[in-house]
Each structure stands twice: as structure tokens, then as C-alpha cells.
Amino acid sequence: MRIHVRRTGGFAGIERSATVDTTALPNAAEWSALAREAAGDSDGDGGRTGPLRAGVPDGFAYEITVDGRTVHTAEPRLTPAQRKLVSRVLREGA
């Protein structure tokens, strides 16, 4: 599974992105479950597959792509699963 996160916005407007390929990771099943949960909320407040919803001024906006399916969300609308996934990918990804 390939997971890509792109974060934009914030006070300084600096973009940051990272990708994790879970194929060879020993905890691939854990990554997969978290990614499916994070990308699965396309109808609730947590994200959507269409145009980005407005967030808060100077807040971060996120584009989360899991195996080609992209979800857009913004602060403060991230679900707990999205928040955890974004944090892990930006910390551990390349």
C-alpha cells in the first residue's frame, strides 16, 4: 500500500509532503488498517474526495492519498484516524 500526505497552509504557508510504501514493512497490516480508516470518511466532516473544504484561518489543509484514492480535509476537521495517519506519514515517510 502506498500512502501519501501533503500538508499546505499554516501561518507561514510552507508545504510539506511525505510518502510511505508499506509493502515491505513488518507492521504493514497496522498501516493498512489505519489508512483505510482515515481515507474511508468521505461523507462526514473528516474529509472528502472533492474540492477542499475551508478550514480555519492559518490552519493546515491536508491531502491524503491511499493507493490512488485522495481525501481532502483541513484543520480542525481531521478525524482521530486522519490525525494519527498524517502524523505518522510526515514523521516516518520519505
pTM over 0.85: no
- Helices 28-39 and 80-92: angle between axes, nearest 10 degrees: 130
Encode 4-46 in three state secondary structure: EEEEEECCCCCCEEEEEECCCCCCHHHHHHHHHHHHCCCCCCC
Among all chains, which residue has been given the C-alpha cell 480542525? Answer: 76
Virtual CA dihedral for 37, 42, 45, 48, nearest 10 degrees?
A: 120
pLDDT (0 to 100) of residue 40: 83
Confidence (pLDDT) at 27: 96
pLDDT tens, residue by residue, 34-85: 999 999 844 444 444 444 555 777 899 999 999 999 999 999 999 999 999 9
More confident residue, 11 or 3: 3
State the pLDDT at residue 54: 58
What residue segments make up the domains of the chain, in order of their start? 2-92
